[in-house]
Every structure is written in C-alpha cells, then in structure tokens.
C-alpha cells in the first residue's frame, strides 16, 4: 500500500486582542494565531513541526496581518493619549507663561474641558505644579503616526490660543509648542506657520476700550 505523506500548515488561535484594523479603519477584535508546519499522512496532520509564523486575523473582515499590527495604537487608546496630551500640554503652556493670568487660565480650563468634562481651575493649579515642560515632546510622540495632520494642527492651534489669551506668547511657551510640534513630526516651518496664522487670525493686540467715534460731519451713518 502506498503511504501518502506530506506537509501542511495549520493555524491555531492562541488568544484575542483589540487592535486597529487598517482595512476597516477602526478598532476590532483580532484572533492571534500561530502557524505551524505539520507532517501529514494521508493528509491528516500527525506530527507538529516547526512554527512558521504568527499572525493576527481580524474577526470582522478576516484580513490577516503581521503580528506587529497590534503595535499600532487603537482608536480608543489614541483618544486617551490625545486627551492626556491636551491636558498636559495646556498645563505646560500655563506654567511657562504667567500662571496667574486669569484670561489664560480660563482659556486653559475651557480647552481641557473638551477632553475632561469635570476639569476646573483647581485641577489646573495641580497640573501646572506637576508638569515638566521639558517632556512636551514625549507626551505627543504616540500621536505622530496616529492622527492626521489636521488633528496635529488643531492641537497646536488650541495651545497657541491659550497662550495668546494672555496677550502674547512667551519664549518658554513657544518652546513647549515647538517641542509638541517636533514630537508629532511637524517641521519647524510648519509649526511657525501654525503659530503665525493663529496669531494673525486673532483680533489685533487687545486695545483698551475706545470711546465711540462719532460719524464724520455729513457722512452716512
Ligand atoms: Zn478588519
């Protein structure tokens, strides 16, 4: 009798993870699978041989990915990272400006409330004492590949607006904004462009209230 033997690859599921499925563009459940070569007799796997690879298979669209797909931050963890970055960078901007400036603090609390609903001035005081502006870059580094350029521009623009609520950007505040831009892989020229476009979009330097100007004689009102 002729014995038919051969080799076959079998996949075994070893676990499940939540990962960002690039094909579908969202967080999905993925099967972590190990591919192993088997020795077969009459097409029946008999002896497990070497492990030939690992993969992650999306349970939704069945696309198979290299295991490193799981290294990409999920949307959920990205929004957490972004929320933390907004909160920490805002506190850094306040710290490197005049931390007592009421208008700037108000702008800072308003911005941070977009990511932490119960944020208030007392929390800001704690954050301002806790943050170290030298680490601005690290806080946003995970966002470099994780969010679109528009999102990065918006984050920096929001920080510039907080600084400008006090009337001007101090050199130390500018340094925080530069570090944040660099952490997200924006070029220095790009960051400068964002800062100047926000600054010029604002009404010119805050002026003391002017007395109303009476219409010129004979002019149309
Ligand atoms: Zn998928």
* Same domain membership, residue 141 and residue 54: no
CATH number (domain holding residue 194): 1.10.3680
| Gap from CA of 74 to ligand 1 centroid (Å) | 13
* Same domain membership, residue 100 and residue 143: yes
* Same domain membership, residue 129 and residue 188: yes
* Same domain membership, residue 187 and residue 81: yes
Domain that holds residue 43: 7-70
For residue 220, the model assigns a pLDDT of 46
For residue 215, the model assigns a pLDDT of 58
| Gap from CA of 62 to ligand 1 centroid (Å) | 6
Residue 209 lies in a domain: no
CB 69 within 8 A of CB 101: no
> Of the residues 25, 55, 70, which one is the last residue of a structural domain?
70
Stated as kind and residue range, the H or E segment containing 137 is helix 136-140
Residue 174 lies in a domain: yes
Residue 207 lies in a domain: no
> Of the residues 17, 36, 70, which one is the last residue of a structural domain?
70
Residues 6+ apart with CB under 8 A from 64: 55, 56, 57, 58
For residue 221, the model assigns a pLDDT of 43
| Gap from CA of 29 to ligand 1 centroid (Å) | 8
| Gap from CA of 21 to ligand 1 centroid (Å) | 5
| Gap from CA of 168 to ligand 1 centroid (Å) | 47
| Gap from CA of 19 to ligand 1 centroid (Å) | 9
| Gap from CA of 32 to ligand 1 centroid (Å) | 13
* Same domain membership, residue 48 and residue 18: yes
* Same domain membership, residue 52 and residue 102: no
* Same domain membership, residue 121 and residue 53: no
* Same domain membership, residue 177 and residue 127: yes
As a whole-number percent, the residues of the chain with pLDDT over 70 amount to: 91
| Gap from CA of 55 to ligand 1 centroid (Å) | 13
Number of domains in the chain: 2
Phi/psi of residue 59, each to 5°?
Answer: -75, -15
* Same domain membership, residue 121 and residue 30: no
| Gap from CA of 148 to ligand 1 centroid (Å) | 20
d(CA 100, CA 38): 70
| Gap from CA of 157 to ligand 1 centroid (Å) | 34
| Residues 174-203 pLDDT 10s | 999 999 999 999 999 999 999 999 999 876
> What's the sign of the alpha-carbon dihedral 111, 112, 118, 119?
negative
| Gap from CA of 25 to ligand 1 centroid (Å) | 8
Check pLDDT > 60 for residue 208: no
Mean pLDDT, rounded, of the chain: 87
Tell me the residue ranges of DSSP E strands in the chain: 5-21, 26-41, 44-58, 64-65
* Same domain membership, residue 90 and residue 33: no
Stated as kind and residue range, the H or E segment containing 153 is helix 149-164
| Gap from CA of 50 to ligand 1 centroid (Å) | 28
* Same domain membership, residue 84 and residue 152: yes
* Same domain membership, residue 79 and residue 48: no
């Amino acid at each position: 009798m002729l014995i038919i033997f051969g080799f076959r690859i079998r996949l075994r599921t070893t676990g499940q993870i939540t990962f960002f499925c690039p094909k579908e563009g969202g967080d999905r459940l993925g099967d972590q699978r190990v591919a192993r070569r088997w020795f077969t007799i009459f097409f029946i796997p008999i002896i497990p041989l070497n492990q030939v690879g690992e993969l992650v298979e999306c349970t939704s669209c069945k696309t198979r990915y290299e295991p490193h797909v799981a290294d990409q931050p999920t949307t959920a963890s990205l929004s957490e990272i972004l929320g933390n970055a907004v909160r920490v960078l805002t506190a850094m901007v306040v710290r490197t400006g005049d931390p007592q400036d009421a208008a700037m603090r108000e702008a800072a609390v308003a911005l941070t409330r977009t990511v932490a609903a119960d944020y208030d001035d007392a929390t800001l005081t704690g954050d301002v004492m806790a943050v170290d502006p030298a680490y601005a870059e690290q806080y946003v580094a995970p966002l470099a590949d994780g969010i679109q350029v528009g999102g990065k521009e918006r984050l920096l623009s929001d920080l510039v607006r907080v600084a400008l609520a006090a009337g001007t950007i101090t050199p130390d505040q500018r340094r925080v904004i530069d570090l944040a831009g660099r952490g997200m892989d924006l070029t220095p020229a790009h960051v400068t462009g964002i800062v100047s476009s926000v600054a010029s979009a604002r009404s010119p330097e805050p002026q003391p209230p002017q007395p109303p100007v009476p219409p010129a004689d004979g002019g149309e009102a």
